[in-house]
Structure 1
Amino acid sequence: MNTHPFPALVISIAVFCSVSVLAKPYLPDNQDAALLVVPELAVKSATLEDIRTLIDKAQRPSGTVDGFSLADALIQPHLTADSAPEALYLWARIQQHQHDFRGAERTLRRLLEQQPDDASALLLLASVQTIQGKFGQARQSCLQLIGRSSMLVAAACALDNSFQQAKTREKRVQSYSELQSIATRYPPQQQEDSVWLMQILAGMALALDRPEAALAHLSLPADSQRPISYLSLWADAQLAQDNPQAVLTTLADIASRSGATDDNLLLKLALAEQMTGTFQHWQVRCLNRITLREQRQDASHAGLLASYYLLLGDRPDRALFWARINWQQNRLLSDRQLLLRAEQAFNQQV
């Protein structure tokens, strides 16, 4: 079983970018970053361990804004006709971040032809299949984890899949309860698995309108060491409990330490600021970011744009426009709920 561990090592971008050699420009496919100048020597010398650590840091507020774009540039020499499984796995993670879910799926299938028992690849494959609404295929990928991963990981994969496609609240509650029970019987042995499970359970709880339970699942401190996805769930739960000041205090401190603010966290800060009626610092910053995304017609951030226009922008027509684009590429329960809320807001307006 290959678990592709992500060690908590500090990586310096200067290692890649301060070498005085001929440099080539690199423009990210998602147009999400400024033009990067990546030294040729850095591209050639970056190891898979370097790239893996860079990706891991990019998922946290302390990571570089262009972390995934830089990783994309650095991994290209490793993508050959006989690419190593680790290179394919890292490339699939980059593709997933870029919302190229079909590309990630193809890359993972190529990896699994070499290593059919690779649990991390199967888990990531199930994830990108679920996002695309390929629930039947995703369930098969989850079932293949049995005997290749822990009982908890295999069960969480399958139950999250069931939760995402459930048509009734009763079935969602059943999946949530079953996962809670299994997590009690088979507690995670590694922190990465623990944080992953916390987020699945918290996401389920929020979808069931149980923010207090979501916060109970997110038992680790909300700080810069947590993944952005973890902090986003924590903020949603706090806002649902009418506690915007906690969001402002915690996320503003994290943003000031990181030097850059992730789009989702910026939206949470703007929402918290609106709820408190305080100075519109974060609302202005969020509007500037949204304006930039809108100008670029950035479909990869369609969900963010829809949420902004629904919750802050008071533009149900724009919310529905972007929610429909988001639904074309993302088929999770949260995307379905976003589309329904946008449709309801638009219909109430007209």
Structure 2
Amino acid sequence: MQWIKQLIGLLCLLIISSQLLYATPFIPKDDQQILETLPSDSPPARYLSSDDFSSSKNTNDPEQTSQLLERAYLQGDPRALGQARAQLDQTTDQSIETLMLRARALQSDHKFSEAKELLKQILSKDTANPDALLTLSSLLVVQGQFEEAMGYCKKLNDSSLSIYRAACEAQIQSMTGQITQAKQTLNNLASIAPQLDASTARWIYLIQADAALRSQDTSLADEVFSVMDAQTVPALMARADWLLSNEEYQEVIQLLKAHTDKDALLLRLIAAQIKLRDPKSKQNLALMEERIEVWRIRQENAHMREQATYAMLANQVNSALKLARDNWQQQRETADIEIYTKAAIQAGSQQDIEVIRQFIKDTQFEYPALERDLRLGKISDCLNCPTSGTQTSSKDKPL
């Protein structure tokens, strides 16, 4: 079942890849400038010269590419992600295994339509391919297309895939008005998770953590975080989100203060620092602004959620709303609906609030605290607080 281990690693990457955006590298001014000191456990350089690169253009090692994607996911290592993409760019191999990896790379670039087309191409050749079925379902979940996503879960008919089908269905059920039933299923899966491979267990725990956050289930959160790993980026993100939702800001700072090189974690750190009026929030806001400027120079559009979150933290309400609205056209996960709701309420945009309400009505998306905020027109965990020391510019005054 080695293939399923690799698949679950890629599924986890899909679930959080839109949140797991990496620190943008510094642009050097001369060839001798040191950009970064690599971690001691970094993989050896693949190419020592241009000749090495040229001679390897036609080689293909899907296992190595999969390992690089896993490293990028677990450690937030952009070098590994870049190497994986480069390997895929160099090969002309059209095997299903390589097509699956190409689909993952497309998704990481937020090219969702192209990724779905590739996955459906795989399924046209092999209608029961479990990799494609699970990955396509997860991609549809990211986009809030829950009914279609469930359809692909149910196509996992092989008895050997019962665990994966159950987790696939429970993730969707937890978001669409069946959270109590989903929690029971996930609890049953979690009870056997220690006997499963680490990637599958991590997938189950992350689904549980999201359900705990949306339902504010302290018992479930305590249970999940007692068994989930404590240092991978996805685990840190899940823990920080839970702590922020419960106003445990000092704990967030302790958890993330050594992880400012990861954009998604840096933004969570800034949110906690602002709540505690920590002067370091200004320094970190400036750091985040520098990274966003590089994205703009590169014309990258795969960071809209992070840009919207930054804009809220920096009191740029109109910018936050536009970015959150644009991001909503691509992604509709828990973090996406949160930032869109916060921006819409803060800007007083009834039109956007109605868009969110309609989504909740149509899908039965289950998030009681967020629904309460929409009804009351307030933000329970205000990111846009005057304690940041920043001022709203004239162009960013509420609508």
Determine if the TM-score, normalized by the shorter chain, exceeds 0.5: yes
The TM-score with structure 2 as length reference comes to: 0.70
In the comparison of the two structures, how many residue pairs are matched?
315
1:1-350 to 2 correspondence within 5 Å? Answer: 3-6=3-6, 12=43, 14-15=45-46, 17-21=47-51, 39-61=53-75, 63=77, 65-80=78-93, 83-147=94-158, 149-164=160-175, 166=176, 171-183=177-189, 187=193, 189-210=196-217, 213-218=220-225, 219-223=227-231, 226=232, 228-254=233-259, 261-280=261-280, 281-294=283-296, 296=298, 298-310=300-312, 312-347=313-348, 349-350=398-399
Deviations 1:326-350 (A, max 9, x none): 0111133442343222111101844
Q: Which runs of 5+ in 1 are unaligned?
A: 23-38, 256-260
The TM-score with structure 1 as length reference comes to: 0.79
> Structure 2 vs 1, CA of residues 212 and 236 (structure 1 numbering), >3 Å: closer, same or farther?
farther
> Is the 8 Å Cα contact of residues 42 and 74 (structure 1) preserved in structure 2?
no
Deviations 1:251-307 (A, max 9, x none): 33355xxxxx22211212222332333342433322322333355554311111112
Q: Distance in 2 between matches of 1:333 and 1:283?
A: 23
Q: Aligned with 1:60: secondary structure?
A: helix
Deviations 1:92-133 (A, max 9, x none): 111111111111112222223344333232111101122233
Matched to 2:91, the amino acid is H
> Is the 8 Å Cα contact of residues 303 and 323 (structure 1) preserved in structure 2?
yes
Q: Which runs of 5+ in 2 are unaligned?
A: 10-40, 350-397
> Is the 8 Å Cα contact of residues 137 and 150 (structure 2) preserved in structure 1?
yes
The offset of 1:62, in angstroms, is 5.8
> Structure 2 vs 1, CA of residues 123 and 325 (structure 1 numbering), >3 Å: closer, same or farther?
same
Q: List, as ranges, runs of 4+ consecutive aligned residues in structure 1 with deviation greater than 4 Å.
A: 184-188, 294-297
Cα RMSD between the aligned structures? Answer: 2.8
> Is the 8 Å Cα contact of residues 285 and 314 (structure 2) preserved in structure 1?
no
Q: Which moved more, 1:44-53 or 1:289-298?
A: 289-298
The offset of 1:14, in angstroms, is 0.5
Work out the percentage of aligned pairs sharing the same amino acid: 23
Q: Which moved more, 1:142-151 or 1:117-126?
A: 142-151
Q: Distance in 2 between matches of 1:221 and 1:4?
A: 20
